[in-house]
Amino acid sequence: MAVAADGSLKLVHRPLRDPEAGQVRLRVEACGICHTDGLAVHEHPESEPGMVPGHEVVGVIDALGEGVAGWQIGDRVGVGFLGGHCGACDPCRRGDFVRCTDQSLTGVTVDGGYAEVMIARASGLVAIPESLASDVAAPLLCAGITTYNAIIKADVVPGATVAIQGIGGLGHLGVQYAHQMGMRTIAIARGTEKAEFARELGADHYVDAQDPAAAVAELNALGGADLIVATAASGASSSALIAGIAANGTLMVVGASSDPVSVSTSDLVMRGIRVRGSLTGSPIENEDNLAFAARHGVRPMIETATLEDAAPAYERMSSGAARFRMVLVP
C-alpha cells in the first residue's frame, strides 16, 4: 500500500527484488499503524514514487544480502522506526546508534511494512521472542520501546513515583511498563472516563488533567512525581504539569508536537527539574523491551485489519477511534 500523489493509500504491485549488501528481505507477518506514519502519508508530486509507510514491522527473513552476519533465513525479526545504523559516523563510533547520521527512517525515507514483502537494513533488525505473536509484537517495536526507554533512561528506581500523561496508544503501554517495573504509577488524562481502565492496566492513582491546576495540586498531594512521561503531543499540556514534579524529577517528552515546552529558570535551578526527550531506541534496547514485555505480560490492545483495508485502518487510527493500536496483517 503506497502513498498516491493525492496523499491517499493505494494498492500497488512492484517487482520482487533481492536485498543488497547489508540488507535482508522479509515476508511481512504484521505491521502496526502509528501516528508517525503521517510523515509519509501526504500529497506529493506525480513524478515521485509513492512511499510505502509502516515502521512497526514483524516478518520472517526469506533472503540475505551479501555480508549479512548473525541472521538466517527463517528468523522472525522486527524493524522499528530507526531502520538501521551505519556504524561509521561519529555518533555510531561513540555508541549512540539512535543518533546515527546515516540512518534510514522506516516507512518515511525508505519503504516500510504496509506490504507483503519488505527490504530492511540488517543493522536495524530486532529478534522477536517466540512467546509474542507477530500482531502483538508489532506495536511494541515503536509504541512499546518509546515508553519503555522513556522510563529506563530517566534513572528512576523501583518504588519511584512515575506518572504517565495520556492514556492512548503510547500511554496504555507506559502504565503497564511502569507498574511492572515496580513503580508507584499514576495515570494522567483529561476527564474521568479512563480512570477505571487505567487502574486495570496497573495505575495506583488516576489524575484528571481537565483542570491543570487541580491536577498539579493532586500530584503534589501524592508527594510529586519523580518522572512524568508525556505521551500526549502537546507542549502546553506537558508544561502545565511541571509544577507537579518532585525536586530533581524529570519531564520526559515522547509525544512530539510543534508547540514548545515551557519551564521556568527557578524550576531548573532551584528545584533541579530536568526536561528531556526520548526517541525510541537501538535494536538491542528493543530486544530488552520485548523480553521485558514477554516476561511481565505487557501487551498492546490492538485491532487488526487486512493489508487491502490499510486506508480505512489508517483513518481509524488518525481519528482516535482505534483502541489503541491498529495492526495490518497481510
- Is residue 149 situated within a structural domain? no
Q: What pLDDT shows up at residue 257?
A: 86
Residues 23 and 106 both lie in one domain: yes
Residue 296: predicted pLDDT: 98
What cell numbers appear for 173 in the block?
A: 503501554
Residue that terminates a domain, selected from 277, 294, 309: 277
Same domain, 250 and 298: no
Q: Is residue 147 part of a domain?
A: no
Residue 291, H or E segment: helix 283-296
In this structure, the answer to whether residues 163 and 100 fall within a common structural domain is no
Task: Flag residues of the chain having pLDDT under 70.
Answer: none
Both 91 and 114 in one domain: the answer is yes
- Consecutive H or E run containing 173: helix 171-180
Q: What is the pLDDT of residue 329?
A: 97
Task: Check which CATH number belongs to the domain holding 222 and give it.
Answer: 3.40.50.720
**171 and 263 housed in the same domain:** yes
Per the structure, the complete domain to which residue 66 belongs is given by: 2-142+281-328
Q: Are residues 96 and 41 in the same domain?
A: yes
What is the dihedral angle through the alpha carbons of 289, 293, 295, 301, rounded to the nearest 10 degrees?
A: -170
Which tens digits make up the pLDDT trace of 246-279?
A: 999 999 999 988 899 999 999 999 999 999 999 9
One domain, residues 270 and 322: no
Same domain, 227 and 291: no
Same structural domain, 8 and 135: yes
Same domain for 67 and 102, yes or no, is: yes
How far is Cα 96 from Cα 211, in angstroms, rounded to an integer?
39
Domain annotation covers residue 195: yes
pLDDT at 170: 96
pLDDT of residue 112: 98
Measured in whole angstroms, the distance separating CA 125 from the mean position of its chain's CA atoms is 16
Q: Please, are residues 253 and 239 in contact by the beta-carbon 8 Å criterion?
A: no
How far, CA to CA in Å, does 41 sit from each of 22, 116, 228, 318? Answer: 28, 19, 31, 11
Q: Do 130 and 170 belong together in one domain?
A: no
CATH number for position 314: 3.90.180.10
Q: In the listed set 238, 259, 277, which residue is the last one of a domain according to the structure?
A: 277
Strands (E), the chain: 2-3, 9-10, 23-33, 56-64, 76-79, 117-121, 125-127, 161-165, 184-189, 205-208, 225-230, 245-253, 274-277, 302-305, 325-328
Does residue 120 share a domain with residue 191?
no
- Tally the domains of the chain: 2
148 inside domain: no
What is the pLDDT, as a whole number, of residue 284?
97
Looking at residue 58, its pLDDT comes to 98
Alpha carbon of 76 to those of 33, 62, 73, 327: distances in Å?
A: 19, 10, 9, 17
